[in-house]
Amino acid sequence: MCWEAENWPGCSSVAYGEAEEICPFHIRPDRKTLYLNPYSWNQAEDSLEFLLKSFEHFPQHKGRYFYITGESYAGHYFPQFSHFIVKQNQATAKKSINLKGYMVGNALTVGYHDLPGLFQFMWSADLISDHTYKLQNLLHDFQSFIHTSSSYDKILDIASEELGNIDTYSI
């Protein structure tokens, strides 16, 4: 059995996920400050409870090999959630969830590695020029993608112009 979770549990997609989904924070109308989302469920305990109740509702799936797949924030969240499931199984001396593995594509992992990976993808797919790719390698300052330098912001703008209206998620 496989559970595919896109942008799950609602903390990915820094702009949309943060503003619209079930993450711990939402953006205030002033667009400058955040407030706690009282309906957030991005904790491992919440996700485990959801899965266990799902298996109660669909007992025919209980005990089957279980895989978790996702993208984006799953690169941060799934290793933690998988570890939590394993620890929970050990603590209760039973396999509540028969976790066999997890898989993450296009993972958000460590911020300062994510942008060079994106540029390498765009360059290898001929979406940006050799010059832009080389310039990115030269200007990359190993900062988080959230706090890029002004010179790196310029190369992001150039890449965006070269990319045009292509949706990289559809490639």
Residues 83 and 97 in one domain: yes
One domain for residues 18 and 100: yes
In this structure, are residues 11 and 70 in contact, taking their beta carbons and an 8 Å threshold? Answer: no
pLDDT at 78: 84
- pTM attached to this predicted model: 0.63
Give the pLDDT confidence of 81-126 residue by residue, as tens digits. Answer: 899 999 999 998 877 899 999 988 777 776 667 788 888 989 999 9
Same domain, 26 and 79: yes
Q: Are 120 and 159 in contact (CB under 8 A)?
A: no
The CATH number for 61's domain is 3.40.50.1820
pLDDT at 66: 93
Which is higher by pLDDT, 144 or 171? 171
| 8 Å CB contact between 155 and 135 | yes
Look over the chain and give the mean of its residue pLDDT values, rounded to a whole number. Answer: 81
CA distance 52 to 48: 6
Q: Which amino acid is at 137?
A: N
Tokens of 16: 């949309």
What percent of the chain clears pLDDT 90, i.e. is strictly above it? Answer: 30
More confident position, 169 or 126: 126
Q: Which residue has the higher pLDDT, 72 or 34?
A: 34
Q: How many domains does the chain have?
A: 2
Quote the CA–CA distance of 161 and 20 in Å, as a whole number: 27
Q: Which amino acid is at 115?
A: L
pLDDT tens sequence across 121-161:
899 999 999 999 999 888 877 766 667 788 888 988 999 99
